[in-house]
Every structure is written in C-alpha cells, then in structure tokens.
Structure 1
C-alpha cells in the first residue's frame, strides 16, 4: 500500500479555514452597529427558526466553516482510526495546544486540553496541593454549581474550612473588591479563592486583576473560572495575573462540544497533583494533571478552525457587538419599576449575558414560570437560574447571530409582563 504522507498531514488539522479567510467577513474595525456587517456574520450560522434563541450560554453554535471542518475531522478520525491516532495525531494535538496557547497569550506547556471547563477546574481545585488542615478556602454565591461542589469537597479532601460569601446586589466595581477584601480580613486562614470571571447566573464580571492582587498580597492563591469570559468579553488573560484557570472552547469561542482548557503558570505546575490515573506522570507536565480518558479527538482537532473564525471578527468588535445587544434591551428597561436588572450599568461589569427578576418573584417556581411565559406567549427561549443569594432569576444570552429586532421583541415582552403585574 502506498501512503501519501503529505496528504495525511494536510488533513483537517492543517487549519483549512486559513486558506478560505479571504471569503469571510473581516471585523478588524467593524462597528458594533454596522448591521450589514453583522448580518454577514449571522449568515455564517444555521440557527433554529422555531424560537427567538436567547439562551446561548449553554454552548455555542458552530459557524458553518467550523462545522464543515469538524465534519472533515470526524470523517478522518473515523476512517484512519488508530493508524492515525497512534502515529501522527499526537503531534497534531500538540499543534492544537500551541494554537490555543498563542490565542491566550501563554506558553504551550502552560495549558492542557480537557473536555470542558468543569473538568479543568476540578483538576485544579481538587489537585491544589498547598492547603493544610485548618486552612480555609473561599467562594461566592455566583460561582458555578459544580465548582462550589468541588470547593465544598475540600473539607474532607484537605481538612479545610470553607467560607461562602454573597456578592453585593446591586454590584459596583469597588463593592466587589471590598467584598473579597472583607472576607480575607475576617478569616486570615483563607489560602485559596475561587473566582468566576463572568457569572453564568447573572452575567456579572468581576474585577479579577484587582481581587487577585489583593489576595496575592496576603499570600492567597486564586483559581479562575473563565468558562464564560473568553470570547464574550475583550481582555488580556496574562494581564489578569492569575496562576490557575479553566476555560471552555465550546461556548464563546465556537468550537465543537467537548473541548476545554486548563491553565497553570509554568512555575506553579508542581502545586497541582498529578492525576493518579496517569501513573505518576512527569513532574512538570501539566497534561499529566488531567485524565480525560478518550476525548472527542475530532472536536479537539477543529479548535484551530474555531479560533481562526473568531479572529476574522476580532475580540474587540465581538465583545462590542454582544454588549450592544445586551444594552439594547437592558438600559431602557431599567426604568421599569417592577423589573430588577442584575448587572449594573458600569460597562466593566458586564458582557453579553444579563439576568433579570421581577420584584417579589425570586423563587425558582416564579422564574421557571416567567421563562415559560416568554416561550409560550412570545416565542422567546431563555432559561431560569438559581443559586443567587438575593433570589432566582431569568438569564438572557444573545449571540453573534442575534438581531436587534429579536432583543427589541424581548424588551416588548418584558414590558408587557411587567404591566400585567401592576
């Protein structure tokens, strides 16, 4: 059998999107209100027409060129099977890691591929080695449920005390910093903080750099949950100053389902345990800290295409467009007395996601009912969220394919529901 090695290496991992970049809309200097441009971006997505889809925080829809690359990768992995996996795929996946690391602005050996942010953060939280019995760890009400569970599990795993705080509502930039400063002051035994960059519950963005700096000054480490921030807001990850973080690539970066990233600063790798399933692993190998079993290799191999697509738009224009869609419905409704908007007007503290509740309607049942009413009566799909200390809420999450007409329809629906409550 004659094997064309060049053809094998030029499969779906050779960044086929780059060759087609000229055919895609360019966002470098795109204005957030350039409707013709954003319509061209929306045209890259196939979205259900059954509803107005404003629940895009679960995971992201792949753009057409990314989906096409994923289909090619599935076909190749399925066709070549272990002949590819045991010979050349390892180098291809290393190239994927390098591409992700470059996009984040970190070194390749500072990241490990996982199946999602939950898996990444579990490895970091449960594997963090610097806790001793009697130490304390801190988390907040807006942190993700699974991460709260892993932190709570440190009581038995590490013999530590666990402290939970409720973040202020309404929030302010300084008020959020003060909340963590006061918690550290109240319990000097705290050695580790879980921070969520952008909350999946309300859309609140934390001043991570400032909180991390005050924690470091007290000898406290931060593990950052960045599942929702990368691709939704415009920021420099190295500028946040964190040593440990977990990301998703299948939410706002638009990769296929089943890809996440664990980050550990190179000098801190030995502060995370090697996963026992990895048989000891190499002392300085971050990938040895995570054991995924068999992942979706095709999904991982498609990540460079997803990053390339997002880079044709640009982080700044993407974040500005999501913010415009959010502001379009949020800001006019701040004047509706019956409605509580759960992210502040301060542009530093929000991205595209924002949640709301109606006054006096803070139960889980209340907010399930509101989300159902939006769907049944107005054709708007959203989701209720629980776990916020001040009460449950309904989350609204636009995407790059969301139109101004769709968020305007949401505003009309909420005004209509509010008027009925008078």
Structure 2
C-alpha cells in the first residue's frame, strides 16, 4: 500500500506503519520513544517592555541594551543590512538547534505523531496576532512562495485584462506578474512611484494609474518597499481599487513584525507575509492570507488533493520542508510580543530618524523616504545625485564598509536610479546611527 505523504503527516498512515513494525518486532511497535533530546538552554528571562509610551521607550538605551543582549552580533562592524532577513535572537537559535536534534533523532515518528498539532498551533497563533481566522492562514516557506501562489493562482483574469505593478515592488513578484501575460493572456503595465514621495502624491499616483488603465483587474501592492523603505497607504489604495473592480495582492514581507497592523487594517483579500524578517524566526518560513470569502478566486496549487478545495492549505503544496523553523516560531513570537510591535516600530523609526535628520541638508544626498511617520519604518535608502549605476552604488557600499565599518546593500530597480539601503535592527544603538550620519556627511565629497 502506497501512503500519501501529507495524509501520513496527519496520522492516516500510522496504523499501517505500526502494523508493519509489529511483523518485525511486536514489542517495539508498542514501545514509546526514548526521552527527547535535552531542552534548549535559555539565556534568561525575556526583556519585558515597561508600560510607558512607545515614543518614550524608543529612547531608553538601557532597555534596548537588554534587547541587544538577546543577540550575538558582530563587534567589528555595524550591520545596517537587516532587511535581508532577521538575525535570530539567541533563544531562537537554541530552540532551532534543539528541534534539529529532535528531528534528527525521532524523525518520522515525531513528524507523524507530534508535528501536525504543533503546525496547527502555529497557524492559530499567527491568526490571533493578525486578527484573522485560522482557516485564512497557510504556512509557506516565505512571502515569496505565498505571493507567487497568489499571483499565479488568481483565476479571475481573462485575455485582454490589464495587471499593474510599480518599480518599488519586489523583483520575483514582478516576474510573477510578467508571467501572467503568457499564462493568462493579459497586458502587464509597470508604473513608477513619484519622487519625492508623499502621502498625497502616492494616492494621486494610484488614482492616475487606475484611470490610465481602465481594463485593470489586478494590482500588486507592496506595503513596505524593500528598495526604498517607502510605506504606502494600503487601505486607501485597496479601497480605490475596489471601486474600479480591481483586486489587490499585497506584499507584506517587510511590514509585518515591525509595523503594527491587522488583516482588517489592510483591507485586502490576498496577502503574503514573512516570519523570518521582523519576527526573527529561522530562515524559510512565512504565510499566506486569503480572506475566507475569496478562497475560490485562488486556484489550488498544482491541483493539490491532499486538502479539500475549501481548505486554504490546498493553495500551497510545499512538500517536505525544514520543520525546525516552524517549531522555533513560538519562541520568536514570544519575544516579539514581550517587546511589543508598537515599541519595535517606534524604536526602529527613532534609529532611522537619528541619522536621517543629520544628513537631510547634505548637498547631492537624496533620502528616498519622507519624514511622514506613516510612510517609513526601519528601512531607508539614499542615493548620491549623479551616482546611480550599479557600479556607483557598489562602490558606495564598499566605501561605507572599508572606511566606516558599516555594512549596507545596494538596491536596483528604482526608476530614477540605484540606491543604497540602510536598515537598523532591534539590536542597533543610537551610537550606530551617529556613525552612519558621520559617514554620510562626508560621502558627497568622495562620490
């Protein structure tokens, strides 16, 4: 008898496997597994945020030194490239190592007997924090997988329809939108967010974008851009789209975990999220949100039959993946809640403000996010006027590292030229921001 892998995971095949084992060793079939590997070491109690306003706590370096102690961070350079993924806190690292040991030893027994309940608990926890129901959440290997499945599976497009995205959207999501031309016979239209961006100019841009493309049926919308750090008014844009009969798929890869919001706040039916960025779970975990009244508008992933068509989990078929990251998620979420998302957001904005406000008037230095607190989080990019090629931005990031020991990253794809992205983390200090400001005060004399 051949057993379906996911049915086995949920326990359907346990009896068959147990019976097969009984033919070989009856006593072993009934024996419980030996004790699990030792529990992970804990680095002490979690930093619990005091009950004070977030803006006040953001400046409390004593509290944030306690948060910094949660991490093993480099001492010989400042890591201002926390946008790639979130550095795991030590307690998450230990939890992750522990679960690797568990999986290495108890392998299929653990996965068949224990893991399904833990996966369901993780879905429920995510749903609770997001203000959603558990049937609207499916675990993925990250926001990329979630969004690719949402874009590729969106089944309301017809030949001749238009689909829209802009320059600040993530590369692989742009590829997925471009693919719809071949797959669905639609016309793909790419726009560009105006510079300098403001709340009103972004809204006005999307109004004109929709007006210029009356056959639009789908919009990709990035909540917080990985290129410049710009946070757009998602709810207002979604409402604008709905009036024109346009559905919106929201990329929340960078926003969830550093900006406080719920699913209802976004107003969108389809969203992809990461858990390995600002929640700081181990690499390779995220989730998909589909509002339950819109599930039928996303096709099953490769005609999945492991779950009923009415189950969101049929919209992603990952196969066998690293389970230690999901098993470590609980500790990452515990720390996230202990610090508080409002406090995280305020602290990250504070660290960003410390360097940005010192360099706003540096000649030829362009800061790519406004000072409107609604429109940025930790990430902010800059460019030096006239130095916007890949070679230019690579040279700038090398100079920052070699001369000032600050690690940043170049980002391409912005319509008006390449940028350098600066991203503090929760373990960053006010002194790190001051170092960044000093470096940029001299940068235009070099480039």
TM range (shorter): over 0.9
1:26 corresponds, among 28, 48, 51, to: 48
Q: Counterpart of 1:369?
A: 395
Aligned ranges 1:318-357 → 2 under 5 Å = 318-357=344-383
Once the two structures are superposed, the pairs formed by residues 199-278 of structure 1 within 5 Å of their partners are 199-276=225-302, 278=304
Residue matched to 2:113: 87
| Residue of structure 1 aligned with 2:84, choices 49, 58, 76 | 58
For structure 2, list consecutive stretches of 5 or more residues without a partner in the other structure: 1-27
Q: Tell me the number of residue pairs that the alignment of Structure 1 and Structure 2 aligns.
A: 415
- State yes or no: 1:157 paired with 2:183: yes
Partner in structure 2 of residue 317 of structure 1: 343
SS in 1 for 2:51: coil
3-state secondary structure, aligned to 2:188: strand
Does residue 166 of the first structure (1) align with residue 192 of the second (2)?
yes
Cα 1:24–1:134 shift into 2, 3 Å: same
The one of 403, 425, 437 equivalent to 1:399 is 425
Shift in alpha-carbon separation, 1:339–1:277, aligned structure 2, 3 A: same
User: What stretches of structure 1 of length at least 5 have no aligned partner?
Assistant: none
The residue number in structure 2 matching 1:68 is 94
Aligned partner of 1:116 among 142, 148, 152: 142
Give 4+ residue runs of structure 1 displaced > 4 Å after superposition: 1-8
The offset of 1:87, in angstroms, is 2.2
**Aligned residue among 136, 140, 153 for 2:166:** 140
Is the 1:28–1:317 Cα contact (8 Å) retained in structure 2? no
Counterpart secondary structure, 2:163: strand
- Aligned equivalent of 2:20: none
Report the Cα offset of residue 235 of structure 1.
Answer: 2.2
- Alpha-carbon offset, residue 11 of structure 1: 9.5
Computing the radius of gyration from Cα coordinates, the structure with the larger value is 2
Check the 8 A contact 2:229/2:376 in 1, yes or no.
Answer: yes
Going from structure 1 to structure 2, the CA distance change for 1:115 and 1:28 (only over 3 Å counts) comes to farther
Q: Deviations over 1:60-91 (max 9, x none)?
A: 11111111111111111111101111223112
Match of 2:8 in 1: none
- Please report how far the alpha carbon of residue 279 of structure 1 lies from its aligned counterpart in structure 2 after TM superposition: 3.6
Cα offset for 1:349? 0.6
Checking the alignment, whether the CA contact within 8 Å between 2:130 and 2:261 is kept in structure 1 is: no
The alpha-carbon deviation at position 129 of structure 1 amounts to 0.5
Instruction: Determine the C-alpha separation between the residues in 1 that align with 2:234 and 2:171.
Output: 19
Are the structure 2 counterparts of residues 315 and 3 from structure 1 closer, same or farther at C-alpha, using a change threshold of 3 Å?
farther
Counterpart of 2:104?
78
1:371/1:383 contact within 8 Å kept: yes
Asked if structure 1 preserves the Cα contact closer than 8 Å seen for 2:410 and 2:420, the reply is: yes
CA–CA distance in structure 1, aligned partners of residues 153 and 160 of structure 2: 17
1:196 aligns with 2:222: yes
Distance 2:172 2:307 in 1: 26
1:6 and 1:274 mapped to 2: Cα distance? 40
- Cα deviation digits, residues 235-263 of structure 1 (max 9, x gap): 23321111000011000001000101011
1:329-375 Cα distance to aligned partner (Å, 9 max, x none): 00121111220000001111100100000111111111111001001
Q: Is the 8 A contact 2:166 2:191 kept in 1?
A: yes
Are the equivalent residues in 1 in contact too, given 2:129–2:262 (CA < 8 A)? no
